[in-house]
Amino acid sequence: MIDLSFADFNWLLAAALFGSYVVVDALYALYTLWVVDRRPIASANVSLVMHFLLAAGVISYVHNFAYVIPITADSWVGAYLVVRLTRRLSLRQSLGMAGSLGIR
């Protein structure tokens, strides 16, 4: 039976899971970028850290399914932040290049 009890729910653990899975999503985005760029050592290192954090999360929510809530919420936050930051950096680089070419 799935346990979705909040009686023994640890909010500090949930916050830690939330934060670690934000990091996991950021690492996943970096992993994807580095695989595409064919950077084997960087992508392998990121994969190792990412799977370590994922395993810690799985161990936490196996005992109480309610821990899936912060894990899924932070996946959205992590993906959003990485894409927004990447877009912002790309835009700054584009503007910097346009400025150096005399384009305004």
Residue 38 domain-assigned (yes or no): yes
Q: What is the value of pTM for the model shown?
A: 0.50
Residue 84 domain-assigned (yes or no): no
Structural domain of 38 = 11-79
pLDDT of residue 100: 55
- pLDDT tens-digit map of 39-66: 788 888 888 888 777 777 677 666 666 7
By residue count, the chain amounts to 104
Residue 100 domain-assigned (yes or no): no
Q: How many domains does the chain have?
A: 1
Residue 3 domain-assigned (yes or no): no
- What residues have CB less than 8 Å from 27, skipping those under 6 apart? 46, 49, 50, 53
pLDDT band at 8 (very low <50, low <70, confident <90, very high): confident
- pLDDT tens-digit map of 70-95: 766 766 676 677 777 877 888 788 77
Residue 67 domain-assigned (yes or no): yes
Residue 61 domain-assigned (yes or no): yes
Residue 46 domain-assigned (yes or no): yes
Q: Is the pLDDT of residue 7 over 60?
A: yes
